[in-house]
């Protein structure tokens, strides 16, 4: 489902608002062939230049990615800062990133964007005046030459790879305690973080702005069967997300691609709900997550007069949306059904009653039993630790070298 020009422009307004700008005027120009020098026609350039004087406009936003030449020419003729869609999104990301990994990812994407735009700008490259398009790492690099920019990019890439290795170690540790994993995915501002907070009480920033949260967060969630699952909140998707950002946020996307199940959150109150859902499905296929089982959670149904029932029927007819549930993260509607469906769809992991013997150096394995199993008895001996527990089969497989006895019948579930 393609966006019309007016719909795309409305999304640009939302991006501008998220960046802290006040939109005072908008316009659409239809051209058979874009102008190579300025993208828009000469008459439109003159019109905007006059508008800048009468409205005292400080920034012009374009809903496309401008070439370096087009951006420079427009700034000279309009006498104001010109920002394209890519730079606007980068600016929003720069203002939202909180963790070291997130900041490095944004910096790398910004430097990649700035590098081809250095030539011919000279003194005007200094943008220390504040406002959108000036946040993040760009302020110091904008006054350097290509060589220094490239050197800084290599340094950031090295630092980012070190952080990613650390995240890989964390992911490996989580795998050693074999809990099932689920990820919330969806279009930006669909309410993923609000839903994440409601389900896990995580306290993640949730705001009615595009890209309110960027950094992936993982929390444990207890399902109706008393099983525990690791739930992750991921960065929201958007149309025409800059390629540099897609590459930079590889680690965030890996959280989704490596999950056992996906909860695709859709803003049911948006008139573009179907288009947003289709776009997310395409991105999931691109990152190798297209085959992962998923639940479609139609969020914000408290804003609809029928509670989202008609939209749920429409989405349920789609093959990729067979498991469709109308929910509201604000008032809790449908959340019990969502958790039950999540419990039913996760891979079955039967519980068994077992006895382990761990040597003193296997402290990590002892902790894994405490985290993922119900400990019935524990006794420390001169040569280690004896434990009797009701544990999931996946954990038992990992701890097979320490298994002493497996009894028939698992007994009661952990409460």
8 A C-beta contact, residue 176 and residue 394:
no
pLDDT value of residue 312: 79
Domain boundaries, the chain: 1-175, 179-345, 351-407
**CA 86 → CA 57, 99, 266, 391, distances in Å?**
20, 22, 24, 49
Measure the CA–CA gap between 33 and 275, rounded to whole angstroms.
Answer: 27
Report the DSSP pairing between strands 59-62 and 180-186. unpaired
Domain 179-345 in CATH 3.40.50.300: yes
pLDDT value of residue 340: 93
Q: Which residue has the tokens 């008609």?
A: 310
- What is the mean pLDDT for each group of 10 consecutive residues in the chain (415 residues)? 73 87 90 91 93 90 92 93 90 78 82 75 46 57 68 88 72 61 88 90 56 65 82 79 64 70 93 88 82 92 86 74 85 93 83 91 89 88 93 83 75 41
Count of beta carbons in the 10 Å neighbourhood of residue 406: 11
Indicate yes or no: pTM above 0.85. no
Burial class (CB in 10 A: 0-12, 13-18, 19+), 47: middle
DSSP 76-117: HHHTSEEEEHHHHHHHHHHHH--SHHHHHHHHHHHHHHHGGG
pLDDT value of residue 224: 86
351: CB partners within 8 A, 6+ apart: 390, 391, 392, 393, 410, 413
Q: Decide: helix, strand or coil at residue 267.
A: strand
Per-residue pLDDT tens over the stretch 221-234: 888 877 788 888 87
Domain 1-175 in CATH 3.50.50.60: no
- Dihedral pair phi/psi, residue 339, rounded to 5°: -65, -40
In Å, how far from its chain's centre is CA 264?
12
Report the C-alpha dihedral over residues 110, 192, 17, 124, rounded to 10 degrees: 0
- Fold of the domain spanning 351-407: Alpha-Beta Plaits (3.30.70)
- Dihedral pair phi/psi, residue 107, rounded to 5°: -60, -45
Extract the tokens encoding 379.
Answer: 């006794």
Same fold, 1-175 and 179-345: yes
pLDDT value of residue 39: 93
Measure the CA–CA gap between 300 and 330, rounded to whole angstroms.
Answer: 7
Of the candidates 294, 286, 352, the one whose C-alpha atom is nearest the C-alpha of residue 324 is 294
Per-residue pLDDT tens over the stretch 372-391: 788 999 999 999 999 999 88
pLDDT value of residue 302: 92
Per-residue pLDDT tens over the stretch 312-348: 788 876 666 568 999 999 999 999 999 999 988 887 7
């Amino acid at each position: 489902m393609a966006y019309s020009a007016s719909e795309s422009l409305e999304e640009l307004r939302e991006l501008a608002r998220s960046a802290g700008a006040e939109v005072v005027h908008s316009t659409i120009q239809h051209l058979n062939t874009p102008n190579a020098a300025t993208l828009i026609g000469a008459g439109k350039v003159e019109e905007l230049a006059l508008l800048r004087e009468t409205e005292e406009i400080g920034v012009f936003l374009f809903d496309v990615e401008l070439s370096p030449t087009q951006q420079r020419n427009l700034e000279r003729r309009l006498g104001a800062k010109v920002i394209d869609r890519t730079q606007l999104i980068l600016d929003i990301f720069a203002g939202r990133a909180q963790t070291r990994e997130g900041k490095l990812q944004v910096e790398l994407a910004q430097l990649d964007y700035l590098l081809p735009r250095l030539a011919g700008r000279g003194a005007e490259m200094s943008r220390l005046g504040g406002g959108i398009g000036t946040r993040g790492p760009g302020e110091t690099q904008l006054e350097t030459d290509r060589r220094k920019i490239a050197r800084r990019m290599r340094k950031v890439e090295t630092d980012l790879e070190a952080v990613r290795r650390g995240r890989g170690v964390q992911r490996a540790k989580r795998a050693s305690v074999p809990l099932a994993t689920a990820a919330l995915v969806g279009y930006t501002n669909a309410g993923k973080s609000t839903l994440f907070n409601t389900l896990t009480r995580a306290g993640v920033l949730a705001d009615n702005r595009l890209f309110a949260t960027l950094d992936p967060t993982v929390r444990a969630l207890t399902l109706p069967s008393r099983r525990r699952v690791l739930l992750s909140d991921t960065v929201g998707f958007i149309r025409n997300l800059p390629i540099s950002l897609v590459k930079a946020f590889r680690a965030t996307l890996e959280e989704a691609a490596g999950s056992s199940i996906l909860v695709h959150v859709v803003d049911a109150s948006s008139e573009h709900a179907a288009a947003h859902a289709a776009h997310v499905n395409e991105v999931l296929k691109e990152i190798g997550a297209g085959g992962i089982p998923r639940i479609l959670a139609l969020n914000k149904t408290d804003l609809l007069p029928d509670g989202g029932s008609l939209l749920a029927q429409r989405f349920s007819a789609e093959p990729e949306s067979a498991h469709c549930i109308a929910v509201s993260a604000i008032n809790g509607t449908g959340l019990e059904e969502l958790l039950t469906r999540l419990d039913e769809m996760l891979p079955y992991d039967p519980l068994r009653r077992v006895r382990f013997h761990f040597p003193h150096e296997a402290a990590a394995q002892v902790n894994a039993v405490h985290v993922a199993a119900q400990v019935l008895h524990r006794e420390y001996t001169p040569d280690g630790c004896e434990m009797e527990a009701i544990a999931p089969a996946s954990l038992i497989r990992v701890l097979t070298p320490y298994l002493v006895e497996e009894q028939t019948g698992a007994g009661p579930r952990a409460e």
